[in-house]
Amino acid sequence: MIKEQSKFFNSNIFEGMSSISAIIKSIEMEISDRKIISVLIDEEKRKSKAKEIAFLRAKSQLLSFELKFVDGSVIDEISVGNTHGGIVAECSERTLMPLETNCIIQNGVYYLLEGIEDPYNFGNAVRSLYASGADGLILGERNWMGVAGTVSRASAGTSELLPTYISETVAAVRLFKSLGYKVICAGIRDSESLFECDLSKPLLVILGGEKRGISRAVLELADKIVRIDYGTDFRGSLSSSASAAVFAFEIFRYNKK
């Protein structure tokens, strides 16, 4: 089985210092209950990765994980990518908490992702949401966090740092609306331009995948359907990750006024 085909089985192998540092930060900030079991380091990287090894050694004493120096072929065998830099971590599962009223701040911006069909697209979307200052992420029971190592690599570790909750989609929308949040869905039919509508907080933003989009039940509950205007006669659609970036940073810009 080639590495790309096996990525879904290596769900809790985290590759490279960006992902591992994010896990450590998420543990220290109590964002995640994931544990690092062990960190594997290429024996030949002892000198070139001396700074990273010193950092990991100190954290291993605080967080009780093991450092193992191994042949580089061992790391290549269990990793998916080739940008790990000779360092990977074996980790436990992360528990995603159910969405409840006390999870939601009074004047925030939250994102609900529905129907994204690729873990890399999902991870890239999460990276943009985190960078824009999102307060949290809402996912359905079926989601890509089960292949956390792949998602973390695509998101540069930010999937471990963004508070993330599980909920049935319609129930999540109703909860946010009950708390005074405006709900907007990305879409085309009966839509307003993202660049012309009120994007003031508190806000729940629902983004769908390119193929399945957003379910009708959710669209019917939205306060607004919002589209991204293009600068040319483009009949296609942006990728989910590109759409997430446009929405996230336009909302960030709008609320800086």
Percent of the chain residues topping a pLDDT of 90: 68
pLDDT at 146: 67
CB 116 within 8 A of CB 122: yes
What is the Cα–Cα distance from 115 to 217, expressed in whole angstroms? 14
pLDDT at 153: 83
DSSP code per residue over 212-255: TBS-HHHHHH-SEEEEPPPSS---S---HHHHHHHHHHHHHHHT
The model's pLDDT over 164-197, given as tens digits with 9 standing for 90+, comes to 999 999 999 999 999 999 999 998 888 999 999 9
The model's pLDDT over 218-237, given as tens digits with 9 standing for 90+, comes to 989 999 999 999 998 887 78
Q: Is the pLDDT of residue 9 over 80?
A: no
Q: Is the pLDDT of residue 207 over 80?
A: yes
What is the Cα–Cα distance from 15 to 45, expressed in whole angstroms? 15
Peptide bond into 202 cis (omega under 30): yes
Mean pLDDT of all residues in 151-170: 92
Question: Vertex 52, ends 47 and 54: CA angle to 5°?
Answer: 85
Helix (H, G, I), strand (E, B) or coil at 39: strand
Domains and CATH numbers, the chain: 13-91 (no CATH), 97-254 (3.40.1280.10)
Mean pLDDT of all residues in 11-20: 89
β-pair type (87-91, 66-70): unpaired
Sign of dihedral through CA atoms 97, 101, 102, 104? positive
Q: Is 30 left (phi over 0), alpha (psi -120 to 50) or beta?
A: left
pLDDT at 151: 87
| Mean pLDDT over each residue of the chain, to the nearest integer | 90
The model's pLDDT over 75-126, given as tens digits with 9 standing for 90+, comes to 988 887 677 889 999 999 899 899 999 999 999 999 999 888 788 889 999 9
Confidence grade of residue 212 (pLDDT, cut at 50, 70, 90): low
Helix (H, G, I), strand (E, B) or coil at 154: helix
Q: Is the pLDDT of residue 1 over 50?
A: no
Q: Is the pLDDT of residue 63 over 90?
A: yes
